[in-house]
């Protein structure tokens, strides 16, 4: 903050004010949705978007990102901790474990930043994250059938087999029990989904109207709540959010649980979700910074994320990062500094103090419809197709990550795909690609002769590029590889009338020999 605050002007504040109010309107419904994904009270989602943005504005190095909760980390946290403690049977202990895992995630993120170990996060490659996000989105979409169909019972497991089985099992409830309320809920849900799809379609056709898509979710909450208030939702059995507590974040430091029975689970949840949040948050910050030729310090970002999650765990918040959706809105609306996060947090505070009762009648089906549309965009079919064209191995990593998340569990799917990514790195180092280089006439440029047939070679001179440094694991392989190149080149030299191969030039890992 000390870098940008002394130069802060009223003009910048005007831009940050507009951006902050806009992302607050998007954050309120999304935070309530994400709290439901984590099986937490809706107010916890709002708490998580008040304190962490204030902490980030002090320590963060990016001026574009907006801080908040994300769907992937929410459901991953619910999956890991839910296997240990049921959020339905023991909600108080479950909530304490979520706060504790957030604390460990913050410690992990801070230590990585202090010791400059950001390379650990880099093992979460794009194919891994792409497959994980797609698998997570699939599970989330299936789980939202509960809200759309108005089902009163549903599984809290996070794999497709359990979710589909539960959906099939409880369809009888939809067809026979509470028929009127279920069909009313379904009808309202379809109306909300159609409205959100229309807003996205308009944004796609007319990009200048992107604000309509950003405001669609708040409008669904406002008009949905108003409609249910007027028709007396409780008389029709349509589930709503219910009353929200008034007041600022209560302290939760006394609720952190470090007993041996659950310690392993909360540490595991903290490290896994913390790593995923770091990868997403830093990637979003760097992507937006490149658009303005700015610089984002990765290690400072890690410390900022860690500090906001540590403080958040003390103040009734769960894991937060820099979501792409809110950060994109923040950037589009012209934010100039991290002050936009302060403005957003102030708006959330006003909701706590004065506007909480207005959200009492917000229909749960509206939250389910918003989750359906927002998580559907996480399935990047176009990028997966491009991955198949570019690198088949990376495509396999993506698919394995997706299948692992969908049919096993999120943490196991993520672990398997990361392990395969590490194996790929080792294979590339042990079996590096080698190219024969040719020269472009009247230049000092050398490129692969197979890729650039117009480049020319010289009789008696062999130029090879080895795309890795030499070390014990690839020495034997490269010796045989170079031997075959030399034998092939000698045949060409002999046929051209030259008696021997005069030079071999090796370009190894950027060092020429």
pLDDT (average), residues 77-90: 88
What confidence score (pLDDT) does residue 312 get? 95
Residue 298 has pLDDT above 60, yes or no: yes
- For residues 176 and 62, membership in a common domain is answered with yes
Domain boundary among 426, 455, 471: 426
Residue 47 has pLDDT above 80, yes or no: yes
Q: For residues 32 and 359, what is the distance between their CA atoms, to the nearest angstrom? A: 10
pLDDT (average), residues 195-203: 79
What confidence score (pLDDT) does residue 252 get? 93
What confidence score (pLDDT) does residue 313 get? 95
Averaged pLDDT of the chain? 81
- For residues 381 and 507, membership in a common domain is answered with no
Q: For residues 221 and 242, what is the distance between their CA atoms, to the nearest angstrom? A: 13
Among 130-134, 215-219, 423-427, which range has the highest average pLDDT? 423-427
Identify which of 139, 48, 67 has the alpha carbon closest to the alpha carbon of residue 371.
139
- For residues 307 and 448, membership in a common domain is answered with no
Q: For residues 463 and 443, what is the distance between their CA atoms, to the nearest angstrom? A: 15
What confidence score (pLDDT) does residue 363 get? 74
- Domain assignment present for residue 238? The answer is yes
SS3 15: helix
- For residues 62 and 133, membership in a common domain is answered with yes
Between 329 and 47, where is the model more confident? 47
Query: If pLDDT is split at 50, 70 and 90, which confidence band does 93 have?
Result: very high
Residue 31 has pLDDT above 60, yes or no: yes
pLDDT tens-digit readout, 341-362: 999 999 999 888 887 777 777 7
Q: For residues 405 and 399, what is the distance between their CA atoms, to the nearest angstrom? A: 10
Helical residues (DSSP H) of 233-380, grouped into ranges: 233-236, 260-291, 298-314, 324-332, 339-350, 364-376
- Domain assignment present for residue 266? The answer is yes
What confidence score (pLDDT) does residue 328 get? 76
pLDDT (average), residues 418-438: 85
- For residues 354 and 453, membership in a common domain is answered with no
Q: For residues 88 and 76, what is the distance between their CA atoms, to the nearest angstrom? A: 17
**What one-character-per-residue DSSP string does 482-497 give?**
HHHHHHHHHHHHHHTT
What confidence score (pLDDT) does residue 179 get? 46
pLDDT (average), residues 153-171: 61
- For residues 342 and 272, membership in a common domain is answered with yes
The rounded radius of gyration (Å) of the Cα atoms in the chain is 27
Between 471 and 303, where is the model more confident? 303
Residue 180 has pLDDT above 50, yes or no: no
Between 448 and 179, where is the model more confident? 448
- For residues 10 and 154, membership in a common domain is answered with yes
pLDDT tens-digit readout, 324-339: 777 877 887 778 899 9
Residue 212 has pLDDT above 90, yes or no: no
In sequence order, the 6+-apart residues with CB closer than 8 A to the CB of 314 are 103, 251, 252, 253
- Domain assignment present for residue 61? The answer is yes
**What one-character-per-residue DSSP string does 405-448 give?**
HHHT-HHHHHHHHHHHHHHHHHHHHHS--EEEEEEPTTSS-EEE
Query: If pLDDT is split at 50, 70 and 90, which confidence band does 139 have?
Result: confident
Give percent above pLDDT 70 in the chain.
82
Residue 178 has pLDDT above 50, yes or no: no
Check if the beta carbon of residue 437 is closer than 8 Å to that of residue 448: yes
- For residues 456 and 380, membership in a common domain is answered with no
pLDDT tens-digit readout, 100-114: 999 999 999 999 999
**What one-character-per-residue DSSP string does 392-411 give?**
HHHHHHHHHHHHHHHHT-HH
Query: If pLDDT is split at 50, 70 and 90, which confidence band does 470 have?
Result: confident
Strands 446-448 and 503-508: unpaired
- For residues 23 and 130, membership in a common domain is answered with yes
Between 497 and 463, where is the model more confident? 463
- Domain assignment present for residue 143? The answer is yes
- Domain assignment present for residue 1? The answer is no
SS3 447: strand
Convert 164-191 to b/e letters by CB count within 10 Å (16 or more is b).
eebbeebeebbeeeeeebbebbeebbeb
Domain boundary among 375, 401, 426: 426
> Containing domain of residue 13, as a range?
6-426
Residue with tokens 């769907």: 71
Q: For residues 242 and 229, what is the distance between their CA atoms, to the nearest angstrom? A: 12
What confidence score (pLDDT) does residue 211 get? 63
pLDDT (average), residues 399-411: 82
Count of the separate structural domains present in the chain: 2
Instruction: Specify which residues 433 forms β-bridges with.
Output: none
- For residues 215 and 129, membership in a common domain is answered with yes
SS3 296: coil
What confidence score (pLDDT) does residue 309 get? 96
CB-facing half-sphere around the CA of 428: CA atoms within 13 A: 11
Q: pTM for the complete prediction?
A: 0.73
- Domain assignment present for residue 18? The answer is yes
- For residues 62 and 196, membership in a common domain is answered with yes
Q: For residues 435 and 452, what is the distance between their CA atoms, to the nearest angstrom? A: 11
Stated as kind and residue range, the H or E segment containing 463 is: strand 461-466
Domain boundary among 426, 452, 468: 426
**What one-character-per-residue DSSP string does 194-255 give?**
HHHHHHHHHHHH-GGGHHHHHHHHHHHHHHHHHHHHHHTHHHHT--B--PPPPSSPPP-GGG
What confidence score (pLDDT) does residue 297 get? 81
- For residues 287 and 166, membership in a common domain is answered with yes
What confidence score (pLDDT) does residue 102 get? 96
Q: Of 58-62, 330-334, 371-375, 473-477, which range is least confident?
A: 371-375
Q: For residues 195 and 200, what is the distance between their CA atoms, to the nearest angstrom? A: 9
């Amino acid at each position: 903050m000390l870098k940008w605050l002394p130069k802060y002007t009223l003009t910048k504040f005007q831009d940050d004010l507009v951006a902050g109010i806009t992302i607050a309107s998007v954050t309120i419904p999304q935070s309530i949705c994400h709290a439901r994904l984590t099986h937490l009270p809706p107010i916890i989602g709002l708490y998580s978007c008040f304190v962490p943005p204030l902490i980030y504005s002090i320590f963060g190095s990016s001026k574009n990102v907006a801080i908040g909760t994300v769907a992937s980390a929410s459901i991953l946290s619910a999956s890991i901790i839910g296997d240990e403690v049921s959020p339905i049977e023991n909600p108080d202990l479950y909530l304490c474990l979520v706060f504790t895992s957030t604390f460990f995630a913050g410690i992990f993120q801070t230590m990585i930043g202090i010791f400059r170990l950001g390379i650990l996060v880099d093992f979460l490659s794009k194919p891994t994250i792409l497959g994980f996000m797609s698998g997570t989105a699939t599970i989330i979409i299936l789980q939202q059938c509960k809200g759309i169909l108005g089902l009163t019972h549903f599984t809290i497991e996070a794999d497709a087999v359990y979710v589909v089985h539960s959906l099939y099992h409880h369809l009888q409830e939809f067809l026979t029990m509470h028929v009127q309320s279920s069909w009313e809920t379904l009808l309202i849900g379809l109306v909300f989904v159609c409205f959100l799809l229309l807003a996205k379609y308009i944004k796609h056709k007319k990009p200048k109207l992107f604000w309509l898509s950003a405001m669609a979710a708040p409008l669904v909450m406002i008009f949905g709540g108003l409609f249910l208030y007027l028709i007396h939702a409780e008389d029709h059995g349509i589930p709503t959010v219910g009353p929200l507590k008034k007041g600022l974040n209560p302290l939760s430091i006394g609720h952190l649980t470090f007993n041996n029975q659950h310690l392993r689970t909360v540490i595991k949840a903290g490290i896994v979700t913390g790593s995923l949040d770091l990868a997403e948050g830093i990637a979003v910050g760097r992507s937006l910074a490149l658009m303005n030729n700015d610089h984002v310090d990765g290690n400072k970002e890690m410390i900022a994320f860690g500090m906001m999650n540590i403080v958040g765990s003390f103040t009734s918040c769960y894991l937060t990062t820099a979501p792409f959706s809110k950060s994109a809105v923040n950037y589009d609306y012209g934010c100039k500094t991290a002050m936009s996060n302060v403005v957003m947090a102030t708006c959330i505070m006003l909701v706590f103090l004065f506007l909480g009762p207005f959200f009492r009648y917000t229909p749960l089906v509206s939250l389910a419809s918003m989750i359906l549309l927002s998580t559907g965009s996480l399935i990047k079919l176009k990028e997966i197709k491009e991955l198949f064209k570019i690198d088949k191995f990376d495509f396999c990593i993506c698919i394995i990550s997706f299948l692992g998340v969908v049919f096993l569990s999120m943490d196991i799917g993520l672990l398997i795909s990361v392990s395969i990514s590490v194996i790929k790195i080792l294979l590339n180092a042990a079996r590096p690609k080698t190219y024969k280089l040719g020269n472009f006439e009247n230049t000092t440029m050398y490129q692969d002769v197979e890729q650039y047939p117009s480049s020319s070679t010289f009789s008696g001179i062999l130029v090879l590029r080895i795309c890795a440094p030499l070390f014990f694991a690839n020495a034997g392989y490269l010796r045989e590889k170079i031997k075959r190149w030399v034998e092939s080149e000698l045949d060409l030299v002999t046929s051209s009338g030259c008696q021997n191969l005069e030079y071999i030039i090796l370009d190894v890992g950027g060092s020429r020999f």
